[in-house]
Structure 1
Amino acid sequence: MNNSEIKNSLKLAAQLMELHGENPFKTRSYVSAADVVGGLDAELSTLSTDEILAIDGIGKGMATNISGLLERGSFDNLDKYMEMTPAGVVEMLGISGFGPKKVAVLWQEGGAETLEQLMELCLQGKVASLKGFAEKSQETLKAAVAFLISNQYKEKYGNIDQAIANLVSAIEGLKEVQSCSESGQMRRRMEVIDLVEIVVAAEDFDALRTSLNALQVLSEEEKKSGPTTWYGRHVGIKAPLKLHLTSLDKFVQRLVETTGSVRHINMPIADQVTIKSSLIRPFESEEELYQSLGMKYIVPELREGLKEIEWAKNDQIPALIEMSDLKGILHNHSTYSDGKHTLRQMAEHCRQLGYEYLGISDHSQTAVYAGGLQDADVARQQEEIKQLNEELAPFKIFSGIESDILADGSLDYSEEILSSFDFIVASVHSGLNMDVKKATDRLLKAIYNPHTTILGHMTGRLLVQREGYPVDHKAIIEACAETRVVIEINASPYRLDMDWRWIDYALEKGVKLSINPDAHRMDGYQDMYYGLQVARKGGLTAKDNLNSMSLPEITAFFEQKKKKK
C-alpha cells in the first residue's frame, strides 16, 4: 500500500466510526493521522516500525493500524466497522455534500442500504421527511446519487494509468505473447475510463488465456469472454477489462480498430471509404495505414471523430503541445495556506525540475478552511518572494493568489491588495449548488474584473465524484476572449477542468489556456502530465498555452495585463 491508499483507509475508518456514533475524539484521531500520512515525503512502506512510531502525530495504536494496512491491506478496527456496515452504505459515504451523520439517518431511519434504494427513497419523496432533510436537500441528494450510480464502474485515468502500465508489462512478459499494447479509452487518454482495453498478439490463444488467468491481479468473467476476447476484472479497478486477442500479422489492424472511437473509425475519408473499411489487409505500422489513406498519422489522443480526419487529409494536424514546451508552473500552493511544502521548497524543486519560473497562488482570505491569506500574510509572503528571487535568480517566483470568486462574483480582497499581485487565479470554491444562469453570471463578473488573470477550474467538477456546476461555456469563453483572461486547464487528475472538449472553441476565439497543476506539494507538479494529455486531446499547441512562454515573455504578459487595469 502506498501513502495515498493508507490515508484513504484511515479516513474511511473515521467515516465509519462517525457513521456508527463513535466517540468524536477517537474519530478525529484517525482524521489527524490520515492528514499526517498525506503530508509525508517518505513512503511508509519503506520505513521500519520504529521510524513510523517516530513520526509526529502517529501514536502506538495508529502505528499498529498502519502496520496492518502494510501487511494485509486492513486493520482490526476497520475490519470491525466494515463488517457492521452494508457495502451499499459504505458507497453512500462517497456522496458529495452529505457526511456520515446524514448517511446514518438515510440508512438507519430511511432504511436505504444501497444507492439504488436511496434513489428510490428520493423519488418517493420520503427523504424530505427525515431528520435534517428538506425538499431542497432531497433534490440535491437525488442529483448526487444519480451521478454516483452513473459512475459506479468508472475510473479516473490518473487513478489507474500506472496499474494498467504494470499490467501491460506483465502481459508482455508472458511466454505466449508476441506483442501487447493498451488501447481504447486508455490509449486516447480519456479523463474517465469505463472500459480498459488491451490488444494482445499470440499464436496459441488457449495457452495465453491460461497464463492470463494465472496472473493474480486478473479474474475472468467467462460468460462475457469469447474466442478472441478475454473479459474480466483487475483487482482494485472498478472499470471492466477487455483483452482483444489477435495474431501478430493483424495486430496493427486490431490496435487501430480498438484505439479510435466508433465515430473516428467510421468517419468518411473518401467515397465509401473509412478507416474501418480499410482494415482488410495487414499493415506494418499505424503510420503506414494512415498513409495508405492519403492522410498524415493521427496520434491516438486525437482519434475522437472530431476534426482530426480533415486535419490529417489536409496536412493541418496541429503541432500538439509537449512536456518540453512547458517553461513554468502556475497555480501552486505552499504552507502559507494549505500546501504541504514551504515556499522555498516549492520554488527550489520547481527550479530543479528545469522550469524557469513558479507562480505561487495560495488561497485567499475567505477560504478559512484552507488557511487563506489575510492581508498581513500577503505582505509577508511577498517579502519572502522578493528575497528568494534575489537568491534564486534567474529563476523567478511570481506573486499570485487563488482568489475565491465570492457569491456575488467579486474577488476576495481590497483593490490595494489585488493590485499587489503579479497575477490572480479566480476560482469558485463554495456555493457550488447553482443553476446555469447563476453560475455563469458569477463567473462573468469575475472575468470582467480587471484584476483577474486566469479563470481557475471553470466548473468545479471532481471527476466521477462530483458533477460540476453548469455553465454557459460559450459565454464564458467569449468573455475571456474579450478581456484577455486566460482559462486554466486544471491538471489535477481529479479535475481536468476546463473540459478538453471546449479547447477548440477557446482557440477559435483566440483565448489563451494554461496547464496548471494546482499543486499543494512538490510532487504535485507531476500532475502537469495529466493536464498535458487532455490539452493535446483538445488540439492545444505551445503558442496558445500561457506557461509555454519564456520568463521574459510571461513577465511582459503579466505587466501588460496589469497596465490595462
Structure 2
Amino acid sequence: MNNQNLTRALNLYARTLEFTHENEFKIKSYQNAAEKIEGFPYLISEDNMNDIEGIGSAIALKIKEIITTGTFSQFENFFSTLPESCMEFFVVPGLSPKKAGQIYRELNVHSIDEMLQASRENKLLALKGFGKKTQEELIECLEYYKSNKGKFLYGHAVPISQTIFKEIQQQSSTLKISLTGEMRRGSNIVSGIEFLAGFENEIPDNLNFNGLRKDDSNSAPLAWRGFYDFINGTPKNNFEKYLNLLFPPVPVEIIFCRKAEFFRKLFITTGSKEHLKPLLKNAPMIPMSEEEIYRANNLPFIIPELRENLFEWEMIKENKISEHPVTLSDIKGVLHVHSRYSDGKNSISELATHCMKKGLSYLGITDHSKAAFYANGLNEERLIIQKNEIEKINREIAPFRIFHGIECDILSDGKLDFTDEILKELDFVIISIHSNLVMNEEKAMKRLLKALENPYVTMLGHPTGRLLLRRKGYPVDHQKMIDACADNKVMIEINSNTYRLDLDWKWLKYASDKGIIFSINPDAHRTEHIDYMQFGVTMARKGGIMPQQILNCMGVERVGEIFERKG
C-alpha cells in the first residue's frame, strides 16, 4: 500500500463519515491524518508510523490494518450495507457526501441517475437545507460528471503512455513506435491512448503487454485494443472497487502497419480529421517523413500539437510557424511555487535545491495571501519574515536566484488582498481568484478588470478558475480579459497543473496577437509538481507560442529587469 492509496483510503473513510452525519471532529481527524501521510517523505510502514505527529492511536490502528490487508473493516462494512451503485456518490467532484447521504436516506435514491432524476423533478426541495439554487447546482454538477465519463486528463495519461511505450519496446526491438491521435496532438482531455507500431515483415509473435488487458472482441489482426487498469485483475475488496471508479480503465489501441507505410499512417492517425482534409490528396503514398508530406503541399512542417484546423493556416500566412517551437529545455526557471509558509509541502531551501538539480536558474516563491486562510495564507508579518529568509538563502546560493512573490487573492469587489505598500516591496505579484467562484460573467469581469488595473500586478494566474473534468470555470469574456491584460502590461499564466491548463490553449493565439507575454507556471505545492511544466509547455506549443514570448524562457537577469520595470 503506497502513501497515495493510504491517503485516498483515509479521505474516503472521512467521506463515509460525512455521509452518515458523524461528528465534525472525527471527520476532521481522518482528513488531517490523510494530509500528514500525503506529505510524509517516506513509504508509510508499521515501523515509521509513530514518526508522524498528530495521528491518534485509533487512526494508527486503522492505518496498520490498511497496510496489512489493503482495506479496513469499518470501510468494508459500510459499503456492504449500501447498494453497489451508491459507491459512485463518492467519486463525483463537487457532490457533498453529507448531502448525498441525506438524499439517499430521505428519498431512497440509489444511483447517480436516480439522484439526477429526483433533482429534475424538484423532489430535493422538500428536504431540509435544499433550496432551488442548491438543486440547480447539483443538477449542473451531476450533468457535468456524466458528460465527462470516459474522458481522461492529458497529464494523467502521459505517465501511463510512457509506461506502455517502454513495455512495447521491451516486447520487440524491431518495432518502430510512436504515440498518435489525441495524445500526440497534446489534447488537454483525451478519450484514450493510441500508438502506431511499424513492423518489417510481420507482427512479432506472442506479444504480451504486462499491465494491459486485451479486449479480444474489439481487436483485429492489425489493431491491438484493450485497457490499462489502475487495479490489476478483479477488485478484491470495496476499496479496490472505489479505486476502479476513481481511476477507470483507460482505453489503449496499438495500430500496426508496415514500416514503409509508417509516416503516412502516423500522419493520418495523428489527425485531426479537419487538418488532414486539404493535405491528403497531394500526400505521397510512401513518404520518408511527415515533413515530406507538408513539402508536397508547399507548406512548412506543422508540429502535431497545432494540427487542429483552428489557427495553423492563419499562422502560416502570417509567417508565424516557428522552426523552433518551445520545448521543456527552453525553460530557465519556475515562477509559481508554494512553500511550507502556506500550503506547500517543502521548505524554500528544498525547493531551490530541487530546481538547481534540474538545471534551472531561478525560482519564484508565491505563497497564498491572507484571504486564503484555508491554505494558511500569509499576513503582512509572515510575508516580511519570508522575505528575510529568501534574502538569506539568496546570499548562500548565488548565482541561482529566488524571486519573492505572492499569489494574491482577488477579493469579491476586485480589490487585492494586500495594499499597494506591501505589493510594491515584492519582486512580482500573481493575482488569482480562489473564492466566491459562483458568479455571472458581468460580476466576474468587473472583478477581474478592476484587479488588473493595479499597477503592481505582474501576471494573472489561472484566469478562468477551471478544474478540468471537475468543475467549469467562472464565465469570462476572454477577449475583454486578454485586452485588459495587454492594456495594463500584465502577463498571463499558462498554468501547468494537470487539472487547470489555464489559460486554455485555444486563446493563446489571440493573446499572442495582442502582444501578451506568457509565463508557463507549475503551480507547484511540492517538489514533484515542478514536473508539471511539461504539460504547460505542450499547451504553449498547441497555442503556437514561441520561446521569446515566454517570460521563463528568459535568463535570470532579464527576468529581474522586467520585474523591476513593472514594480
TM-score (norm 1): 0.90
Counterparts of 1:354-373 in structure 2, within 5 Å, are 354-373=359-378
Cα 1:198–1:366, aligned 2, differ >3 Å: closer, same or farther?
same
Quickly say closer, same or farther: Cα 1:507–1:206, change in 2 above 3 A: closer
- For residues 117 and 284 of structure 2, the distance between their equivalents in structure 1, rounded to whole angstroms, comes to 49
**Distance across 1 between alignment mates of 2:83 and 2:423:** 50
Measured in 2, the distance between the counterparts of 1:526 and 1:174 equals 28
- Matching residue within 485, 495, 501 for 2:500: 495
Q: Which runs of 5+ in 1 are unaligned?
A: 269-273
Match of 1:5 in 2: 5
Task: Tell me, yes or no, if structure 1 residue 389 matches structure 2 residue 386.
Answer: no
Q: 1:118 to 1:63 in 2, by over 3 A?
A: same
Match of 2:104 in 1: 107
Please tell me the residue identity of whatever aligns with 2:212: V
Residue type of the alignment partner of 1:148: Y
Given candidates 517, 526, 537, the residue that maps to 1:532 is 537
Report the AA paired with residue 356 of structure 1: S
Out of 448, 451, 455, which is 1:446 matched to? Answer: 451
Residue of structure 2 aligned with 1:254, choices 265, 268, 281 = 265
1:408 positional shift: 0.6
Provide the aligned length of Structure 1 versus Structure 2.
549
Paired with 1:292 and 1:174, the residues of 2 have a C-alpha distance of: 35
Q: Give, in angstroms, the shift of residue 558 of structure 1.
A: 1.3
Matched, 1:263 2:268: no
C-alpha distance in structure 2 between counterparts of 1:48 and 1:125, whole Å: 49
Q: CA deviation at 1:477?
A: 0.3
Residue among 220, 226, 239 paired with 1:232: 226
Q: What's the counterpart of residue 220 of structure 1?
A: 215
Q: Which amino acid aligns with 2:90?
A: L
1:366-424 Cα deviation digits (max 9, x unpaired): 11111111111111111212222222222222221111110111100223222222211
Distance 1:41 1:253, change over 3 A: same
Q: How far off its partner does 1:513 sit? A: 0.9
Distance 1:314 1:431 in 2: 41
Task: Tell me which moved more, 432-441 or 167-176.
Answer: 167-176
- 1: CA distance, partners of 2:211 / 2:557: 53
* Helix, strand or coil at the partner of 2:474: coil
Gaps of 5+ in 2: 231-247
Relative distance call for 1:254 and 1:134 in structure 2 (3 A) is same
C-alpha spacing 1:216/1:311, structure 2 compared with 1 (3 Å): same
Cα deviation 1:520-543 (Å, max 9, x = unaligned): 112221111111111111111111
Alpha carbons 2:203, 2:256 under 8 Å: kept: no
Cα distance between partner residues in 2 of 1:190 and 1:302: 10
Residue identity in the other structure for 1:233: F
Query: Does the CA contact (< 8 Å) of 1:542 and 1:548 recur in 2?
Result: yes
Query: What is the CA distance between 1:478 and its match in structure 2?
Result: 0.4
**Is residue 2:113 matched to residue 1:116?**
yes
- SS in structure 2 at match of 1:139: helix
Structure 1 position 239, deviation (Å): 4.1
Q: For residues 340-377 of structure 1, what are the alpha-carbon distances to aligned partners after superposition, in whole Å with 9 as ceiling and x for unaligned? A: 11122222322332222221111111111111111111
Q: Percent identity?
A: 38
Q: How far is the alpha carbon of 1:48 from its aligned partner?
A: 5.3
- Which residue number corresponds to residue 317 of structure 1? 321
Aligned pairs for 1:125-524 within 5 A:
125-175=122-172, 178-202=175-199, 211-212=207-208, 215-220=210-215, 222=217, 224-236=218-230, 237-266=248-277, 268=278, 274-275=279-280, 277-278=281-282, 281-309=285-313, 311=315, 316-318=320-322, 319-524=324-529
Q: Given the two structures, how large is their TM-score scaled by the length of structure 2? A: 0.89
Query: 2:508 corresponds to which letter in structure 1?
Result: I
CA RMSD, 1 decimal: 2.6
Amino acid corresponding to residue 41 of structure 1 in structure 2: P
